Structure 1
Amino acid sequence: MMKKNDIIDLKITDITDTGNGVGRADNIVVFVPQTAVGDVAKVKIIKVNKNYSVGKVIDITEPSKHRISIDCPCFSKCGGCSFRHIDYDCELSLKQKRVEDCIRRIAKVDASPCQIVFEDTVNRYRNKAQFPVGEGGTVGLYAPRSHRIIPVTDCLLQPQIYEKIVVAFKKWVGDNRVPDYDEVCKRGLLRHLYIRSNKDETEIMVVIVCNGSEIPGKTALISYLSEAVGDRLKSVYLNVNTKDNNVILGEKNILLYGEKYITDTICGISVRISPNSFYQVNRNMAELPYKKVREYAEPEGKTVVDLYCGTGTIGLTMAKECKSLYGVEIVKEAVDDALQNAKENGIDNAEFICGDALAAADRLSQKGIKPDIVILDPPRKGCDSRLIEIVANGFSPEKVVYVSCDPATLARDVAVFGEFGYKLIEYTPFDLFPRTNHVETVSVLSRQ
């Protein structure tokens, strides 16, 4: 009988989608973080449940052929990456398999995906970072499944210039004795340091998220940040978040310095980005799924409804081919950006609506809008079943193009669409988030 603190020899035969190796001992499944399929490891059992146990590697006695040297000192500590211990080909295979398994098991669709699309860049691809601030001005990233902050100034997924911003921010915090926010006592000021940039980091936005609308030493903050990144610094905001929740940004933004937004270009469309606007974190790779959406949609001369449209980027990339485009987004700043993006790109057949996707879709349906194509790009939780019903029965489009960042909720929603007569025609995974356990999928469903 396996007990806590037992030390066992374990062969890893599988790996979970979160990067935990899987082996068996005494007919019990044992999950072991940071192991690879083929590893033989000496493992200390740290948790025993009725149906599974959790172990911790003491030593790798026989390394897997997929194992590589870990290149990040924080890999075992922070919750950012899942796959820095295996080669990239293996990671891609795992993600491809995960998407296919969900579609077959949950959606009950007997169809293989197209080959996963990727680029060779696995580091420094993010254009956004959120650093929680803790006791004594500690800046870093959260440990897995906790709010314990692991001190980090440079993350390998983020541009190197972000490190200069973190250092400048910490200097400002120390010099001005700015208190951090205590999640337990609900007191203090600083909650997060939030950074956004465009493709080449030629435009950078820094957002200080606070439990209040005033901060000390504003002039010093701007000075330190300017010294750190020069004229790349385009915007500095104070974001007010006084709510007791896990949402990083509050609804109120106070411009402290510079422009109201930064700008970027994607698929030939100029876009502006505000603090609360959604924009893909891997800008270079994002062009590939956007092109796939366009390929699946075949928008020429069609009416398109783009739900969860963010700043309008997906819809706007095909707007000049559409008959008309309707975008729906709940974040007002994103809708404002979408309207401006359409204007700046000479697009006059696009209308953007601020509101909840379900309510807005219902209103459009009641107004008699009958789209040929509906694009869905929901958050990780997927679509509400009532929204799917409105799309299928109210809009009744020829096609639904669904962009998903969670294979399980995608598969669940594909099954629901199936109940309304829509069949999954094709789906393609994209690795927009190398070294993490996340994977994007673009799929097309057709009305039968």
Structure 2
Amino acid sequence: MIKKNDLFEAEITAMTAEGSGICRADGMAVFVPGTAVGDRCVVRVVKVLKKYAFGRLEELLTPSPDRTTPDCPIAGPCGGCVYRHITYEAELKIKTQRVRDALERIGGFENIPMEPILGAPSRTRYRNKCQLPIGLSKNGEMQMGFYAVNSHRIIDTHTCLLQPEVFDRAAEAFRAWQKLSGESIYDEAAHSGVLRHLYMRCGEKSGEVLVCIVANGAKLHGEDLLVKMLREAVPEITGIVLNINRERTNVVLGRELRTLWGKPTIRDTLCRLEFEISPHAFYQVNRTQAEALYNKAAEYAGLTGAETLLDLYCGTGTIGLSMASRAKKLIGAEIIPSAVENARKNAAHNHVTNAEFLCGDAKDAARILYERGERPDVIVIDPPRKGCDAAVITTIAAMRPTRVVYVSCDPATLARDLKQFTAEDYNIEAVTPVDMFPGTAHVETVVLLSRETNPLTVEVRMEVETGEVKEHPTYKRIQEYVQEKYGFKVHTAYIAEVKRMVGLDMHKAPNAVEQRKHEYHPCPPEKVEAIKDALRHFGLIAE
């Protein structure tokens, strides 16, 4: 049995969702940060738990073909990036596999219709927002940067390859101002001192820059000097604001803002729409990849101009508004009042006249819309990392939209929710991973779900010759019969295959494609017989 400080040789064979390599020692999985699949290395055990352990790369014996020289000197201690030591091609493969693994292991899906991941044009300088915590070093000087992994210890950082170079210039000017002004640094434990965070935003298309100083107070020493130094260092700057946050909290921004110079917002363009972005407003931090994601979501939505589109978890309305010109009507729902107000302003600013935005959580909003008789043709959902409430999915299914487009930031909760959607008689038609945050462990996914008119709904028909009313079972009822009698699951695609095999009428889904984009494995013989048995049981084929 391995124990702490043991050294052993091993090969890295897989990666975790957090970007650590996985090897084995004495039959136990050991997670090793900073390694790559194919590395042969010496690992030191640093922590042993009941079923797995954590290790540290002690010596690299044979490097993986995926390895490359890290381009950031603090990538290890910072922890924000976990893939800077491997090629981008390898990173994209890992992220694709992460989505596939979640859908197979958590969702129980087979033959997933996975499209190629949408990789980013650049791994560097893509973020349009930066939040730098401020603290005191051991020698009493200001430090500013990013928190080390799983801690509130600040790694002093003078440049970050994920942020635009203009943020580096603004941060250096701010450091110089603090030395001259002597403004105090916030102490989290004592809740004393003033400077808490430096928060910056920029418009990728507009080039506008906003600098926001988060302070435990309503005034700074030397405000005029700060404005002067920032404007000299960053000619692109369009606004400097003070955010007042006196709360004992880890939340970065307080509610109050005071403009020190310029305007308190920036403009940017996304999917041909212009957005006004305040420090509090949500806006995708990688604008270029956000456009790729929204374009894929719009492709999946398949709007023709005749549909009602419902955008749940709509935030400031960006996804729904990007599709509004292709819909008859847009309804957005969001729980945060300020975001709803921003969505309405964004609609007015872009002359979108067919949009309505409601304030309320997704569950209540969906229920209210259902009760007032709204039956959207297409529903787009972009929930937080925790995924959808089960009641939301139930209400969505009750509305019976032809298509549901699910935008996810967590493959695990996505897989869980898709399992419920398929139980509600929706098919997974297409899955596309999107790399919104290169270098980091995060991956987004866009999924198209559709409901076919015949096999996925309960149909009650009057038989002309006998007058007998017959109920035609859903795929779900067929799956339940097979599971109960034979003890295994059958995918809806297999049921459809067997129904065609025995000559049952199949209505084609309105969004069906002529040629699959993924490899399809035929239904195994034992499942064919089980499905035929179910069809006989429900009277769809003769004994």
| Higher-Rg member (1/2) | 2
The CA distance in 2 between the partners of 1:139 and 1:78, in whole Å, is: 12
**Equivalent residue for 2:127?**
126
Go from structure 1 to structure 2 and tell me whether the alpha carbon gap of 1:328 and 1:240 turns closer, same or farther (over 3 Å shift).
farther
Q: Which amino acid aligns with 2:280?
A: N
Q: Which amino acid aligns with 2:373?
A: G
Q: CA deviation at 1:201?
A: 6.4
Q: Secondary structure at the match of 2:324?
A: coil
Counterpart pick for 1:324 among 316, 324, 329 = 329
**Equivalent residue for 1:189?**
194
Q: CA deviation at 1:356?
A: 2.8
Report the more deviating stretch, 9-18 or 240-249: 240-249
The CA distance in 2 between the partners of 1:253 and 1:299, in whole Å, is: 40
Deviation digits for residues 386-422 of structure 1, max 9, x if unmatched?
22223222x3322211111111111111112223222
Structure 2 matches for 1:35-434, cutoff 5 A?
A: 35-110=35-110, 111-135=112-136, 136-200=141-205, 202-230=207-235, 232-300=236-304, 301-393=306-398, 395-434=399-438
Report the more deviating stretch, 166-175 or 324-333: 324-333
The CA distance in 2 between the partners of 1:391 and 1:185, in whole Å, is: 48
The CA distance in 2 between the partners of 1:416 and 1:163, in whole Å, is: 46
Go from structure 1 to structure 2 and tell me whether the alpha carbon gap of 1:238 and 1:402 turns closer, same or farther (over 3 Å shift).
same
Counterpart pick for 1:446 among 450, 461, 472 = 450
The CA distance in 1 between the partners of 2:367 and 2:303, in whole Å, is: 22
The answer to whether the 8 Å contact 1:278/1:310 transfers is yes
The answer to whether the 8 Å contact 1:194/1:207 transfers is yes
Q: Which amino acid aligns with 2:122?
A: T
Q: Secondary structure at the match of 1:24?
A: strand
Q: CA deviation at 1:217?
A: 2.3
The CA distance in 2 between the partners of 1:234 and 1:328, in whole Å, is: 32
Deviation digits for residues 87-114 of structure 1, max 9, x if unmatched?
1111111100000111111122221411
The CA distance in 2 between the partners of 1:358 and 1:188, in whole Å, is: 42
The answer to whether the 8 Å contact 1:274/1:333 transfers is no
Go from structure 1 to structure 2 and tell me whether the alpha carbon gap of 1:251 and 1:162 turns closer, same or farther (over 3 Å shift).
same
Q: Which has the higher contact order (CA 8 A, sep 6+)?
A: 1
Q: CA deviation at 1:14?
A: 1.4
Q: Secondary structure at the match of 1:264?
A: strand
The CA distance in 1 between the partners of 2:196 and 2:272, in whole Å, is: 36
Report the more deviating stretch, 402-411 or 321-330: 321-330
The answer to whether the 8 Å contact 2:134/2:197 transfers is yes
The answer to whether the 8 Å contact 2:135/2:185 transfers is yes
Q: Secondary structure at the match of 1:118?
A: coil
The CA distance in 1 between the partners of 2:392 and 2:68, in whole Å, is: 44
Q: Which amino acid aligns with 2:402?
A: E
Q: Which amino acid aligns with 1:119?
A: A
TM-score normalised to the size of structure 1?
0.95
The answer to whether the 8 Å contact 2:432/2:447 transfers is yes
The answer to whether the 8 Å contact 1:235/1:257 transfers is yes
TM-score normalised to the size of structure 2?
0.79
The CA distance in 2 between the partners of 1:65 and 1:378, in whole Å, is: 37
The CA distance in 2 between the partners of 1:224 and 1:409, in whole Å, is: 46
The CA distance in 2 between the partners of 1:109 and 1:21, in whole Å, is: 25
**Equivalent residue for 1:25?**
25
Q: Secondary structure at the match of 1:410?
A: helix
Q: Which amino acid aligns with 1:309?
A: C
The CA distance in 2 between the partners of 1:290 and 1:72, in whole Å, is: 30
The CA distance in 2 between the partners of 1:384 and 1:437, in whole Å, is: 25
The answer to whether the 8 Å contact 2:39/2:60 transfers is yes
Report the more deviating stretch, 395-404 or 66-75: 395-404
Q: Which runs of 5+ in 1 are unaligned?
A: none
The CA distance in 1 between the partners of 2:404 and 2:247, in whole Å, is: 36
The CA distance in 2 between the partners of 1:195 and 1:432, in whole Å, is: 19
The answer to whether the 8 Å contact 1:172/1:221 transfers is yes
The CA distance in 1 between the partners of 2:383 and 2:101, in whole Å, is: 21
Go from structure 1 to structure 2 and tell me whether the alpha carbon gap of 1:367 and 1:190 turns closer, same or farther (over 3 Å shift).
farther
Q: Which amino acid aligns with 2:51?
A: N
Q: CA deviation at 1:125?
A: 0.8
Q: CA deviation at 1:200?
A: 4.3
The answer to whether the 8 Å contact 2:427/2:449 transfers is yes
Go from structure 1 to structure 2 and tell me whether the alpha carbon gap of 1:207 and 1:19 turns closer, same or farther (over 3 Å shift).
same
Deviation digits for residues 319-340 of structure 1, max 9, x if unmatched?
1121111122333443333222
The CA distance in 2 between the partners of 1:132 and 1:19, in whole Å, is: 24
Moved over 4 A (4+): none
Q: Secondary structure at the match of 1:117?
A: coil
Q: CA deviation at 1:48?
A: 1.9
